[in-house]
Amino acid sequence: MEELLNNFMRFIDAEADSEKEFDPDKKINEQFDYLFDETDFRIAMVKFEMDQLIDIPRTPKNYELSLRELCEKISELSKIKKANVPTFLKKKKSELAKITQEIAADLNKMFF
């Protein structure tokens, strides 16, 4: 489980725009700010899923857990079967594209 947590932290660190440390024992939603928000966390999570080949169910309750608690739940999930990996990765790439489109739409609203 610690390895899973460390891997997830690596993806969070890659998305964070600040030097602020993400605390794995503090509720996820309490750590969002203007430099690291829910969108950044969603991107980190999708990239983590792709790396670990695990499909994490989307639920707002995930953000009310600490990252350590979430990783405990994730450790109970089954990895994607080898035959389903291409479809899974395609689905996750589509999720990343959708998030990117949401970011672009938000930026468009700010400037126009």
What is the reported pLDDT for 17?
A: 76
Write the pLDDT tens digit of every residue in 7-62: 999 999 999 877 778 999 999 999 999 889 999 999 999 999 999 999 999 887 88
Output the six-digit token pair for 43: 């991107």
pLDDT beyond 80 at 73: yes
For the entire predicted model, the pTM comes to 0.89
Residue whose pair of structure tokens reads 């947590």 in the numeric block: 5
Region 70-96: mean pLDDT is 97
How many whole angstroms from its chain centre is CA 70? 11
Whether 64 and 29 have beta carbons less than 8 Å apart is answered as: yes
The residues spanned by each domain of the chain are 2-111
Output the six-digit token pair for 25: 């024992």
Region 83-108: mean pLDDT is 93
